[in-house]
Amino acid sequence: MKLHKYFSSPKTFSLNCLVLLLLVSNLAIAKGKDSIINFIFTSDVHFGLTKDYFRGKENVSARDVDMAMMQVMNTLYTSKIPVDKGVLENELVGGIDALVITGDIANRMEKGVQSATASWKQFEEVFIGSNHLQKANGTKSELLVVPGNHDMSNAIGFHRPMEPKKDPASMIGIYNLMFPNSKVSSFDSSLHRIHYSRDINGVHFIFLSLYPDSAERVWMEKDLKNISITTPVFLFAHSIPDVEPRFFENPNGIHDINEEDRFENLVPERYKDGKDLKGETTIEQNKFVDFIIKHPNIKAYFHGHENWTEYYAYSGPSKNINLTCIRTDSPMKGRISLKDEKKLAFELISVNTHSGLFTVREVLWNVLEGATSFNWGMTANYQLK
């Protein structure tokens, strides 16, 4: 390039310097925009249950409650974020990269609860057919789902009576949704592991089957070999990090699911802390803690199962880590929202990989004044670096 053509006079020099500065500024703005990730996080949608009271009606089905939540999610992109020192503060939400649901799609089929087959059809109607979320570029947002303990129990059986005794529909549905190139018509828990990962704009998302037990950690080690140690990682699972004994394989007898032992065999790892459900999970948790220490780029753990909104730090049995955890409400079983439906919530997570900040915002989606209105609830800011 012949620079003298552009800087042949002081006036031309000044004008072109201004143009150059504007170009650099626009590139910086574009870079900042390109570094933004938005995703919605919810869990425990429990198709098959009914809610005692919802919007002035009694005995409202999960299908109707979840549909109401999905309708609010669909309008979120036009909403303005409050001034809270977080990512995108005082701006429109904009595109949504993904909707993440961490399990319990179907409720366990006890006491007259509908089959997992019926529940999965309702899930498809609500979260696929009525899901109009889009990314910033106008393409459809990803739907990223992992199973919960109810989904797995429906598939493999339970120590209390269910009707039918087994129905793997939600496990098959989740598997086929997440692995469309290798669909299955039957489910084998030892073969059809629902774990996978996604790279979204500079963050590595890992989705696990129920809990990061020994089998999942072996898979994660292989997955993380392809990821730079400077790439931030988010983990998603159904279970709380201080996992319950019942999730593990029965350590007794022939290691089966039975009414006496009441282990649920949800993960393939055998329980090591004792012989009954009254014990702790110290051994199991410490192995997970060791994994977190080995991989310091794991920045957050997202989960459902206990059904209320909380942003907290998990320190492990020995209090030797400080892992950011995001627990979310359930539209059907929320501990707080069952008593006050204005507390029904899902989370909006906004990440700026350029600045290294990510913000978790509680969306109180059932404020009652209108079908698609909501209030902003709690906010927490965290660093990726």
Considering only CA atoms, which of 194, 222, 334 is closest in space to residue 183? 194
| pLDDT higher than 70, residue 9 | no
Mean pLDDT, range 311-337, rounded to an integer: 97
Where in the chain does DSSP place strands (E)?
36-42, 50-54, 57-61, 98-102, 142-146, 196-200, 203-207, 233-236, 298-303, 310-314, 323-327, 345-352, 357-364, 375-383
Q: Which residues contact 370 (CB under 8 A, 6 or more apart)?
A: none
H-helix segments, 116-213: 116-123, 149-156, 169-178
Q: Is 88 left (phi over 0), alpha (psi -120 to 50) or beta?
A: left
Superfamily holding 37-383: Metallo-dependent phosphatases (3.60.21.10)
Task: Report how far residue 238's alpha carbon sits from residue 285's, in angstroms, rounded to the nearest whole number.
Answer: 15
Phi first, then psi, for residue 118 (nearest 5°) are: -65, -40
Q: How many CB atoms within 10 Å of residue 92?
A: 12
| pLDDT higher than 70, residue 218 | yes
Give the pLDDT of residue 34.
63
Give the pLDDT of residue 76.
96
Mean pLDDT, range 339-356, rounded to an integer: 96
Q: How many CB atoms within 10 Å of residue 193?
A: 15
Phi first, then psi, for residue 301 (nearest 5°) are: -130, 120
Residue 228's alpha-carbon distances to 31, 208, 231, 323, 382, in angstroms, are 21, 20, 5, 19, 20
Mean pLDDT rounded to a whole number for the chain: 91
Give the pLDDT of residue 283.
97
pLDDT tens digits, one per residue of 103-145 = 999 999 999 999 999 999 999 999 999 999 999 999 999 999 9
Give the pLDDT of residue 367.
85
| pLDDT higher than 70, residue 18 | no
Residue 160's identity, in one-letter code, is R
| pLDDT higher than 80, residue 159 | yes
pLDDT tens digits, one per residue of 259-271 = 999 999 999 999 9
| pLDDT higher than 60, residue 379 | yes
pLDDT tens digits, one per residue of 272-306 = 999 999 999 999 999 999 999 999 999 999 999 99
| pLDDT higher than 90, residue 372 | no
Q: What is the pTM of this model?
A: 0.90
| pLDDT higher than 50, residue 16 | no
Residue 76 and residue 363 in contact, taking contact as beta carbons nearer than 8 Å: yes
| pLDDT higher than 70, residue 211 | yes
Give the pLDDT of residue 373.
82
Give the confidence band of 385 by pLDDT, cuts at 50, 70, 90.
confident
Structure-block tokens of residue 172: 């098959």
